[in-house]
A and B are shown apart, each in its own frame.
Chain A
Amino acid sequence: SQQGEEDPQALSIQEGENATMNCSYKTSINNLQWYRQNSGRGLVHLILIRSNEREKHSGRLRVTLDTSKKSSSLLITASRAADTASYFCATGFQKLVFGTGTRLLVSP
């Protein structure tokens, strides 16, 4: 079964706007990761946040983690058309289990 569930399933915004995606998971974790997938390509790792961290930044990305609510969010600020992709959260140690993903469309 899927460990993570992202919402929304799809998000459409204009360039320059911020995009927020949420991930909920079911069991205890020691870290949570976010990945990006361009259409028809492999996934690319974006950021990892450990269970003892509440917020992490990387460039235009901001990730938060609330272990009490078993949820995480990914914020992309000042979005660009090139950010159009699907975004997945993933948890697990030896077996990394992915959520269902959010499809982000950024229009020029």
Chain B
Amino acid sequence: SQTIHQWPATLVQPVGSPLSLECTVEGTSNPNLYWYRQAAGRGLQLLFYSVGIGQISSEVPQNLSASRPQDRQFILSSKKLLLSDSGFYLCAWRVAGAIGELFFGEGSRLTVL
């Protein structure tokens, strides 16, 4: 069966520090991968999605970046965090080319102080 792992679950970072959130999927090949951000009490904002290794589409211009160094690994990064980067970050995957459901990780809660 397929599983998705996302870490760390919680982190508190100072403004200007770097960020790395990691997401891995098991039990499937060539998934479509997604990063979403959710502000407190709000909906989900699509940040990045990837249909293959090294293929990243950015939806929102900002100081975040994403990389997909391996088929089932998706990394969200920042060189210098801003206060506005605080939020709940969710990684998700879907079968390539499918119109079906997204499978979400448990999320990473980031607080920038």
Count class of interface residues, chain A: 20 to 34
Count class of interface residues, chain B: 20 to 34
Please state if B43 and A2 are interface contacts (CB–CB under 8 Å): yes
Question: Most chain-B Cβ atoms within 10 A of its Cβ — which of A35, A40, A42, A45?
Answer: A42
Task: Check A88/B104 contact, CB under 8 A, given A30-B99, A42-B90, A95-B59.
Answer: no
| Chain B residues touching A, majority SS | strand
Complex interface: chain A residues within 8 A of B41 (CB): 103
9 tightest A-B CB contacts, nearest first: A42-B104, A45-B101, A100-B43, A98-B44, A43-B104, A42-B106, A101-B43, A98-B43, A42-B107
Q: Is A97 an interface residue (CB 8 A)?
A: yes
Complex interface: chain A residues within 8 A of B104 (CB): 42-44
Q: Is B46 an interface residue (CB 8 A)?
A: yes
Complex interface: chain A residues within 8 A of B107 (CB): 40-42
